[in-house]
Structure 1
Amino acid sequence: MQRSFSLVFLSAFLYFVLGFEPTTGVTLILDTHLNNIPSHPQQHSPLAHETEKTLMDSLHAIRERRLDAALDGIETLIGTHPEFRLAQLIYGDLLLSKSQLITSIGNWPNAPRDKILGLREEARQRVKHYLHRPYSILNNRHRNAQELDTLPGYLIRVGKNLGQAVIMDIGQSRFYAFENHGAGIRLRGSYYASVGKNGFPKQSEGDQKTPIGVYLTVGSIPSDKLPDRYGVAAFPVNYPNEWDSRFGRTGHGIWIHGVPSNTYSRPPFSSDGCIAIANEDLLSMKDILAVPNTPVIIAEHVPWIDRREITARHGQFETQFDRWCRDWESQNHSRYAKHYSKEFQNETKNRASWLQSKRNINAEKRHIRVEVSNLSILGYPGERNTLVVIFDQDYRSNNYNRRSRKRQYWRWERNKTREAEDNPKDGVWRIVYEGSF
């Protein structure tokens, strides 16, 4: 059957959702910042979820004025996912445009305005990632993961014992899952996700904001132990972490969880502070999130940099980290102390008390050996030039041996003039927090 659609609808859709600026009448031009977008979408990767792929194909068909194809795709989508509210909204507008002129997206007079605006924003965020994906795929030789030309700048090194890490890019409403396959870090999946309705960063109990920082998963909660609002599973993280506590941030119960059974996804800013992901997407990476101590990096914006630059960065830092280990073994207190910032503070000690404690302990040692394994180095979002370092430590001496997992925060600090001879660069990495867990 021949279908006819309103070009006014097409014009409005391109403007409100795809970001294309209509001119007078129905002639359309691209907004200036999209002029370099190719006429065809980026090739879908094998990791692209079929649900989002179908939605993006339909939106692209609208962009190309192939509205029959768009309607077919949306009909297929709501046939398999009738709870997908964004798809239902687009479907309704496509049908309505056949019988009347419409001038915006969500032409339902009785629909709550905030709901319509939330769905529009979800569409924008999905399309923005689709058109401006921050990476290219180098190869697909690995069945479940892809090697990329760039990586998030926060993933400096992921230890083999951790094996995986996830990153939430709030500005893009995007949740990335990565795996360490020995030869390097690869992308496991990319998913649309929602965060706190009041944005970020979290500061206090009940502020309905999402924290910014580096966290670790601390377990999992199955669906039969959860209210429906949290979906098929929940994975709590250790907010507030030691850095949050240092700055007096309060609150609790920050989870990565699913969505209610009556919806497929939620608008970008709609949770009470947690990260909410479509149930089928959450289940697809359950094996990653269920592993205790999986790093969870939450950032306002995720910079993507060349893989070779990542390698250079961790090489530069590891030289300094190795020097800390050797200076500790040397029992030269002055050299060891230089690695600790004047702003060092952990749960029980400041710099002076920490160093005095180490001096007292080392006075009883004839020798010290420190071996480090499973080293992970992660950039800390929201903190300039700050790294979180997680590692297994094997400490041995003549009268005490201990294996432990440690976490340190290192910060790049400017050199003073008298240090310039020893450190010709304009700064040095120093420890501002150290503790075991």
Structure 2
Amino acid sequence: MLTLLGPWPDSATGATLRFDTHLDSSLIASPSVPAPRPAPSHETEKILMDSLTSMGKNGAEATLHEIEAFLESHPKFRLAQLIHGDLLLSKGRPITDIGNIEGVSGPEIKEKVQGLREEARRRTGRYLNPPDPDTLPGYLIRPGRERTWFIVVEMGSSRLYLYENKKGRFWLRGDFYASVGKNGFPKQSEGDQKTPIGVYRIVGNIPADDLPDRYGAAAFPVDYPNAWDKRLGRTGHGIWIHGVSSDTYSRPPHSSDGCIAMANEDLLTIKKILAIPGTPVIITEQASWMKPAAINGRRLAFEEQFERWRRDWESRDRTRYARHYSRSFQSRSENRSAWLHQKALVNSGKRYIRIGISDLAILGYPGEPDTVEVVFAQDYRSNNYNSRSKKRQYWRLEKTKPGRERAGRKDENAEGVWRIVYEDAF
């Protein structure tokens, strides 16, 4: 009998759980259809996980037949092939781990088996311990009106989540297994084979006909390095969401050169959404899952500070305006001192300034403590100059120094004060 040890959770035998893993393709064609939980468009992962977790009830022989039937329709699913081999071996002797490689030499084979073991851990972990359906990734603070779809990649669990924004509310529309960089994360430099952590946007769509086979059914580049990466001196390029080669179904969790790789059938399920330019892609190690009410409280607290910044800019009071900018502030070309000096010169010729804000979007920035990315349309009006532009800012919650008097300072609280650490127009 096959004994599931090592990578398998204690509850992996005898468990039967519902697992809606994939996007209902009808929702892509008709996104106005109200459905908080769409049925999966296919159940490849669910079928495999159901077979494994029911082994304690059905026995190894029944599971073997189920895996054989599964491989008839998915012959390139390497993890299923490995499990099938283990089940055959278990007829003659106990197997204590996935991928029995006793007597097998060669580091390459051992490395491949270890990658498949880790894939089994990630898939089973998600199957048995899904996120609370009443929570959201805490990065989804305010979607803005321009964007309908949001992607969150949680590298620690090898999952890609797809959320739909419907009138300011988020609905989970897809949940997929995904692989990332061979050397983990976060990306820092060209060629390090790591996946970046941050907030990115899809900027391209490369069809399969224009790609080498290893990139699969399509590729969707993101804008790494973004403005924040460049501020921190990070280098590299060519971070994509793409498929896998035609000789396999999926890849181990850490197997790309830094890109996010999905099974081709999963990629094709959401291809139309990935093809929308500007779709946000939030890449994190481990998402902070929060109740919507808690996220809303965070949003309101930040928006209050953001509104103060807008009013203080209109006031043309340099001191009031300056207090919103961190000592570590840096634009594309100016530090805090140069930025404030230039603003003072401009404001000296103004009798009034009016700042209009629209299409405000706020996303938490993973990998940076208490940092948010803010994007908005700005309508600038004054007595001698008018303009409209798109603005991007990064704000950080800076801790208040111990003993500092906060009386009368509405922009400060027990947690600290939000200040701008980067700003540009695009």
Question: TM-score, normalised to structure 1's length?
Answer: 0.87
Give the number of equivalent residue pairs. 401
Instruction: Give the corresponding residue for 2:33.
Output: none
Distance 2:387 2:61 in 1: 68
Instruction: Give the corresponding residue for 1:435.
Output: 424
Distance 2:366 2:14 in 1: 32
Given candidates 59, 63, 82, the residue that maps to 1:70 is: 63
In the TM superposition, residue 430 of structure 1 has moved relative to its aligned partner by 0.5
Given candidates 187, 198, 201, the residue that maps to 2:186 is: 201
- Give 1:250-265 correspondences, 5 Å limit: 250-265=235-250
Q: Does 1:421 align with 2:402?
A: no
Instruction: Give the corresponding residue for 2:43.
Output: 50
In the TM superposition, residue 76 of structure 1 has moved relative to its aligned partner by 2.9
Instruction: Give the corresponding residue for 1:4.
Output: none
Say whether the 8 Å CA contact 2:362–2:373 is kept in structure 1.
yes
Distance 1:75 1:38 in 2: 20
Q: Aligned letter for 2:45?
A: E
Given candidates 130, 135, 140, the residue that maps to 1:150 is: 135
Q: Does 1:132 align with 2:129?
A: yes
Secondary structure in 2 matching 1:434: strand
Instruction: Give the corresponding residue for 1:269.
Output: 254
Any gaps of 5 or more consecutive residues in structure 2?
Answer: 21-36
Q: Does 1:18 align with 2:8?
A: yes
Given candidates 72, 87, 91, the residue that maps to 1:94 is: 87
Question: TM-score, normalised to structure 2's length?
Answer: 0.89
Instruction: Give the corresponding residue for 2:297.
Output: 312
Instruction: Give the corresponding residue for 1:40.
Output: 16
Q: Aligned letter for 2:17?
A: P
Distance 1:390 1:15 in 2: 48
Say whether the 8 Å CA contact 2:242–2:261 is kept in structure 1.
yes
Summarize the Cα distance change of 1:262–1:352 in structure 2 as closer, same or farther, 3 Å threshold: same
Distance 2:14 2:291 in 1: 23
Q: Does 1:231 align with 2:231?
A: no
- Give 1:22-421 correspondences, 5 Å limit: 39-42=15-18, 44=20, 46-47=39-40, 49-107=42-100, 109=104, 112-136=109-133, 149-416=134-401, 417-421=404-408
Superimposed CA distance per residue, residues 194-253 of structure 1 (whole angstroms, 9 cap, x where no aligned partner): 111111111111111111111121111111111111111111111111222222211111
Secondary structure in 2 matching 1:130: helix
Distance 1:18 1:232 in 2: 31
In the TM superposition, residue 287 of structure 1 has moved relative to its aligned partner by 2.3
Bigger mean CA deviation after superposition, 267-276 or 367-376: 367-376
Distance 2:343 2:424 in 1: 14
Bigger mean CA deviation after superposition, 414-423 or 347-356: 414-423
In the TM superposition, residue 72 of structure 1 has moved relative to its aligned partner by 3.5
In the TM superposition, residue 367 of structure 1 has moved relative to its aligned partner by 2.5
Say whether the 8 Å CA contact 1:202–1:211 is kept in structure 2.
yes
Summarize the Cα distance change of 1:350–1:290 in structure 2 as closer, same or farther, 3 Å threshold: same
Instruction: Give the corresponding residue for 1:3.
Output: none
Any gaps of 5 or more consecutive residues in structure 1?
Answer: 1-6, 21-29, 137-148
Percent identity of paired positions between Structure 1 and Structure 2: 57
Instruction: Give the corresponding residue for 1:142.
Output: none
In the TM superposition, residue 75 of structure 1 has moved relative to its aligned partner by 2.4
Distance 1:314 1:129 in 2: 29
Q: Aligned letter for 2:181?
A: G
Say whether the 8 Å CA contact 1:258–1:278 is kept in structure 2.
yes
Distance 1:175 1:391 in 2: 26
Distance 2:109 2:138 in 1: 40
Q: Structure 1 segments of 4 or more deviating over 6 A?
A: none
In the TM superposition, residue 47 of structure 1 has moved relative to its aligned partner by 3.4
Secondary structure in 1 matching 2:334: coil
